[in-house]
Each structure stands twice: as C-alpha cells, then as structure tokens.
Amino acid sequence: MRRYLVLSVLGVCLLVFMPGTTASAGSSKYYAGKNSQGQKLLFSVDQTARGPRFDPFFTNMTARCPATGDVIEVGFSFGGFQVPIKNGKFSLRLNDLTDLFIWKGTITPKKATGTESFDLAAFDRQKGLQDCTTGSLRWTATGLVPASAKAAPRASYHVNISKAADGSVHFSLTH
C-alpha cells in the first residue's frame, strides 16, 4: 500500500481580504478540536462589521482509494477565509475539477460540531476512475478560554511549539 501526502496551501493562493471582512471590527475566539479520525483542526470565529465569520486555520484527514488501496494524508491550511455564520451555522465548500472539500458545522460560545469531507478523483491501475475519499467525518471543537489579565500581572512567559519528525506536536512553557 502506497501512502501520499497532499498539502493544500490555499492561503498562499487564495488570500481574500475584503474591506469590512477582517477581524479588526471586533474580537476573535479560537476553537481547537479533532475529527472522527483523531486528526486535529483549528479555526476562529471573528466578530466583523458584517457579522460573525468562520475563519479556518487548518484541518487534517486521511483519504482512502477503494480500487488501488492507496492512503492519502491530506492537510489543508487556510488564510484569509471569512465564511459567514448565520444562526450559528457555517458551510465552506471548495470545488475543483479533481477534488471536493466540505467543512460545515454549528458553533456556540463554548463548543462547535459538524462534518467535513474530502473527495479526490484519481485513476486506478486500469485507467478507470476511483473516488479517493475520507467519507463524511464528524468533528468537535472546544472554544479556547483566554487567559485572565489578572492571572499573572507583570509576568512574562515563553511558549515554544515544535513538531517532531513523527508528526507529534510538543509544547514547552518557561516563566
């Protein structure tokens, strides 16, 4: 079984900063979570002059190809997306000639839930087409609580975040 890695750096290619849609009109709340494959995701809800916006940072997932058995590790990074949130719900759909990405959900002040999926049209070994897909993945995220300004007056902290060769993320904090 072959394994592939696909990184979609949409933020580099699709930076869409329109007046009135950035978070400068208000604050942002960050949400961190995982999908049903155990893969991490991160986004914020930005309060803008045009209302709340879903602002994705990244999501990861694994797609499988039924005919060839190939496994594709997919990582999406975003920059500049501002998806409207209406009645606590959002839907991001990116369509291309060869692939389809969907991330949608419901957001409350403390948590968020929804589904995401990725489909890639790919050739099998007989030049037929197969749908390499994640299927519909459920995800959950928790709103991150900002640190209190009174928690540590006049203190300074150094946070170091690193990613090991095996993909694990490590945090260290020094005071």
pLDDT in tens, 135-164: 999 999 999 987 555 555 555 666 666 677
Dihedral angle over CA of 118, 93, 36, 6, nearest 10: 40
**Which residues, 6 or more positions from 166, have their beta carbon under 8 angstroms from its beta carbon?**
none
What is d(CA 90, CA 104) in angstroms, rounded to the nearest whole number?
Answer: 6
User: In order of start, what are the domains of the chain with their CATH numbers?
Assistant: 3-149 (2.40.160)
Instruction: Return the HEC string of the chain.
Output: CCEEEEEEEHHHHCCCCCCCCCHHHCCEEEEEEEECCCCEEEEEEEEECCEEEEEEEEEEEEEECCCCCCEEEEEEECCCCCEECECCEEEEEEECCCEEEEEEEEECCCEEEEEEEEEEEEECCCCCEEEEECCCEEEEEEECCCCCCCCCCCCCCEEEEEECCCCCEEEEEEC
Residue closest to 82 by CA, chosen among 142, 6, 19: 19
- At residue 3, the pLDDT reads 52
Q: Give the global pTM.
A: 0.71
136-173: buried (b, 16+ CB within 10 Å) or exposed (e) per residue? ebebebebeeeeeeeeeeeeeeeeeeeeeeeeeeeeee
Tens digits of per-residue pLDDT, 54-88?
Answer: 999 999 999 999 999 999 999 999 988 999 999 99
Does residue 10 register a pLDDT over 50?
no
Structure tokens at 95: 């369509």
